[in-house]
Every structure is written in structure tokens, then in C-alpha cells.
Structure 1
Amino acid sequence: MESLLRTMDLTDTGARTTDDIFTGPSQWMPHGRVYGGQVLAQSLTASMRTVPEDRSVHSMHGYFLRAGDASRPITFAVDRIHDGRSFSTRRTQAYQNGVPILSLIASFQDHDDGLEHQHLVPEGIPQPEDLPSAAEVLADIDHPIAQTWANDRPFDMRHVPSPIYLSVDGEHTDRQAVWMRATSPLPDSPLIHQAALAYASDYTILEPVLRRHGIPWATPGAKIASLDHAMWWHRPARVDDWLLYVQDSPSATGGRGLSRGSFFTRSGELVATVAQEGMVRIPS
């Protein structure tokens, strides 16, 4: 979690042309590529730095353009596209080596009252205390990626019905749920919790595509990568409390899979919705 907070503590370079320019570090990853959720959270944080604190993010849409190098820092250029009476819009480009690795647009809104409704939490979901953590599932796997997933990620994740790290047990369905919680308390700033939720949203969102076809992460030769990512924040929530990430995949075709996800608090409030399409190429 300290590593995650360091990546979101961006440096304002002071450069002002048409954009606001920030820089941030990359987290170490065993495969050498920047984790997509990291650059999403950083790009969102850069956008937040240019908007009044009482105007909070309600949506973002991003495209992953290139794989990032986890050994190098990232530069973020924020274009202040629009500031209205209730809404602000920002475009952020994340760069490494002078080329963009992610392009994101985010919209921010003043608090406003209006109509209220939401989907309900699916019934029959076990509580997180009744499920094994990733650390427990992967503890005996002597592989650097398994040990990183077990011990170094800033979120505790517990799958319903079971994880698909090494095998897909049970029914090959296009639906799953994951309980998530930060491994240690976070500061009270709502902006940090919104950015951290964007970070966590990329972890398991493509797993319903894999689960539907009985394909675990450890499949030799599999190539899986995020292509685009959309997210909507509905209600405030703390990511250091348990959140239930309910996911499904409506379609896979052309080497791509689409997944959707909904974050609920333990008390049943719908706090965010996610959609992502990813490249999913499996050896024949």
C-alpha cells in the first residue's frame, strides 16, 4: 500500500504550455510491464490536481495504447478541456520515452441532488471472512509472479466461487464476484479512495472471459491485455473497507473479450460501475 500511495503522489513539474505536466514513478512488476490500474489511477490523480476539490470525478474513459516500462517514471499531461458551472472535463495523456501509453478523459461534477435508484447485490454471496485470500491460495507456489500476487499487491482479494490463478474449478460460467479491501488503512481524502478504486478495478475485470472458457491465468502462451477501460463513480466509498466486485462477460469475439463490473459496499450500496474490453489470445 505504501508503494501505491507513492505512485499517486505525483510531482508537479511547474511546466505550463497548453497542459499541466506531472510526473510519477512506476511500481515494480515481475514481468516488467506497468500494471494498467496504476497508470489509470495516476492519470486520474493528475486530472484531479487541476480541478477544485469539491468537484469530484463521476466518470472516466481510457485507452491503453502501449505497454509501459515498470522500470521508468511516467509523465502526465493534463488538458483542461472544459470548466462549466457544474461540470469539468479533463484529458490526460500518460507518456514514456516521448510516446503515449494511455489516453484518458475524465468528467467531474459538483455535488447535486436528483433521482436515486440502483441494482441490488446478488443474493447468496459468501462473506469475505469465509473465503481464502490470495496469499493463502498462492502461498506454496514458488514462482515470482505467484509470490508477488500473494504478498505484494496492495489489495486483499477473495474470489467467489474460487480464483482462476492455476485452474478453473467448477462451472465454466461468465460470472464471478471478488471481495476486495486495501491491505492497510488509507488517508481520509475521498480523492485517494476514488483513485485507489480505479487502481483496483483493473485487477480481475477480464476474469469472467477466461472463466467462461475454463482458461486460468497460468495457461502457457496466453496473451491477455487491457485495451480500454471505462468507470463511473456513483456514491462515495472507502477502499479500506470490504467492497464486493460483481462481474460478468456478455461477449468475446475477434480475440477480444468484454467484461462489466459493479462495486458494492458490504451494506449493499452500489458505488461504481466498470466496463473493459481486453485482448484475449489463447494458443490453439
Structure 2
Amino acid sequence: MCIAAGQRTVPDDFDVHSCHCYFLLAGSGELPIVFHVERVRDGRSFATRTVQARQKGRCIFTTTVSFVREGSSGSPGSQVAHASLMPRGDDGQPLRPPPDDFDGEPELVKQGPFQSHRIDVVNRGSEHAHEKKTRQWLRARGTISGGRQAHAAALAYISDSYFIGTVTRIHRLWRFPFKADEFDKLPADLQHKVRTLHDWEGLGNDPRDMVGQPVIGMMVSLDHTIYFHEPRKVRADEWMLNEMESPWSGDGRAVVTQKIFGKDGTLIATCVQEGIIRLQEPPKPAEGGKESKL
């Protein structure tokens, strides 16, 4: 929404090429949001805007958005160009999207404005989290109207999904509101739901494998950056591949990077997000250094 608000203040031949966002306060889905746009600079090639999302007079989210005028970079002969290629599968061929008529989502995840495919964790068996990657196909549900600006805004929305949660998958952190060793005590229908979600997120089909794994205590996004490489090629209602990895975590925070490829293999965006990641504290022993028997 912030990108869409900023886009309305620049000429039509300017496309968003980057935005830098900060999550400041928790928002409410029951209150209206006011978007305040400040015109920072209008140049011949670039335009800059800051946008604040406000509720009850308080800024809950802020972003700086930069736009570039189409064709302002000169002729192709005066530029350098390269791009990452679509990742390859086990068969050595570029990954292929699900069929256009894909309808294989479990009922549990058939919510929200975008459709997703099961997450694949690459190098799942590695002992080093930074060597793992997650890959997932996503697209907006239905058909997007509103032109390229609407597609860019939809990509921004989709890019925040599953993002900082990448850390829980590459570290195999338990996220459900009960202990992993209590799985067998759950009703059969709830076991089925947990097993389905666990497998859909690329962690395998047996949640009991997570017994003894660390448990998430807090996870929240701090900031989010998007670089739109090919804004006029974004088709957010067609399949896009998200590839995510984390080069670093520590001090209660983690950084995740994301590459977004279009259906045709074009690298259309690169994103970076930092978030707070805290584990539940282990239970304290009883006084005297002995564990309680209660």
C-alpha cells in the first residue's frame, strides 16, 4: 500500500526500483490506515518519496521509495548487465513452475490473497544453516488489474510472506503452541492438520522428528528492503519462484535474503529482511540445583 501511495505522486513513466521499510509498531486490522507521502526529490531520472502508514496518529510503518524513469539509463550499449539464473533441479534443468491450473494446496493454507506451493528445503541435511536454501512457487489469486503498478505492489506484499520464517526452517525450530513430544496426545484431526502444515513448510511429514529441537519464543520483522530489477516484467498473478537463504543470525536477530524469479526465469527482484529471533528459555532448575519432580 505504501508503494501504491508513493506511485500516485510520480509521473506514469516512473517505475519503483527500490524501497526500504521499517516495521515500527503493531498495526490493527480493525482500524483505518492513513498513508502520508512526502515528496523528497523529483529529478529527471529518479524520484524519491517517504511514506508513513499511520493509525490513531502514530506511525506504525515507514518506507523510503525510489522511482526511476523508463529509458533514463541510456542505450543498451552504454550499460553493463548480468543476472542470476533460474535455479536448477535435481535433473540439471531450470526449475519449472506448477501447472497454471494447480489446485493442490491443503485446505489449511487456502487462505489469503496469494496461492503457494509446498516449500522445498535445499541441502536439508547440512549441519550448517547458512548452506541451506528454501524454494517456493507463489502467485496472486485471480487476475490483477491496475497495470504494472498493481503488479509491483502485489509482489511487495507477497515478498513478506514466509520471509523471516526461513530461519525456523533452516534451523529446524519448533513453532507450534505445544511441545513436539506431545504430538501423539493430540486428537487425530489435529494431528493431521499439524502434520500437513509441517510437511507443507518443508520440514518433513513427521513432526515427532522435532522432539528436542529449540522452540521459537519470539519472531518479528524489523526491516524489509526490495530491489525491483525488472519492474515492467513483474506478473504477480503468474507463478514466481522465491529462493531464500540466511547468511547470518546472532544477537537475537537474523538476516534473510530472497531472490524472486518470474515464470520465464527472469530475476525480477531481490529482497533483504532482518528480524528478531528469540528462543524460549529452557526451564530453570528448582532451588538447590535440583530439578522439580512436580
TM-score normalized by the length of structure 2: 0.71
Give the count of matched residue pairs.
226
Q: Deviation at 1:58? A: 0.2
C-alpha contact 2:229 2:268 (8 A) present in aligned 1: yes
Q: 1:224 aligns with which of 215, 219, 222?
A: 219
Q: 1:117 maps to which residue?
A: 82
C-alpha contact 2:246 2:254 (8 A) present in aligned 1: yes
1: distance between equivalents of 2:111 and 2:47? Answer: 36
Change in Cα spacing, 1:89 to 1:239, as seen in structure 2 (3 Å) is: same
Which deviations, in whole Å up to 9, do the C-alpha atoms of 1:173-207 show, x marking residues without a partner?
53101101111111150000000000000001113
Q: 1:23 maps to which residue?
A: none
Q: Deviation at 1:152? A: 2.2
Q: Percent identity?
A: 35
The answer as to 2:11 corresponding to 1:46 is no
Q: 1:273 maps to which residue?
A: 270
Q: Deviation at 1:218? A: 2.5
Which deviations, in whole Å up to 9, do the C-alpha atoms of 1:97-153 show, x marking residues without a partner?
1111011000001113433210112210464349x97831xx3xxxxxxx4xx2321
Q: Deviation at 1:283? A: 0.6
Structure 1: tracts of 5 or more residues without a match:
1-41, 140-146, 163-168
Q: Which amino acid aligns with 1:118?
A: A
Q: 2:228 aligns with which of 227, 233, 248?
A: 233
Change in Cα spacing, 1:110 to 1:255, as seen in structure 2 (3 Å) is: same
Q: 1:283 maps to which residue?
A: 280
C-alpha contact 2:105 2:117 (8 A) present in aligned 1: no
Bigger mean CA deviation after superposition, 62-71 or 105-114: 105-114
Change in Cα spacing, 1:95 to 1:250, as seen in structure 2 (3 Å) is: same
Change in Cα spacing, 1:127 to 1:189, as seen in structure 2 (3 Å) is: closer
Q: Which amino acid aligns with 1:283?
A: Q
2: distance between equivalents of 1:257 and 1:60? Answer: 20
Q: Deviation at 1:66? A: 0.4
1: distance between equivalents of 2:67 and 2:152? Answer: 12
1: distance between equivalents of 2:53 and 2:262? Answer: 31
Q: 1:180 aligns with which of 122, 132, 138?
A: 138
1: distance between equivalents of 2:169 and 2:236? Answer: 25
TM-score normalized by the length of structure 1: 0.74
Q: 1:190 aligns with which of 148, 151, 164?
A: 148
Which deviations, in whole Å up to 9, do the C-alpha atoms of 1:37-58 show, x marking residues without a partner?
xxxxx11111111111110100
1: distance between equivalents of 2:229 and 2:251? Answer: 32
2: distance between equivalents of 1:116 and 1:133? Answer: 37
2: distance between equivalents of 1:127 and 1:93? Answer: 36
Structure number with larger C-alpha Rg: 2
C-alpha contact 1:133 1:156 (8 A) present in aligned 2: no
Which deviations, in whole Å up to 9, do the C-alpha atoms of 1:56-102 show, x marking residues without a partner?
10000010000101111111110000000110000011111111101
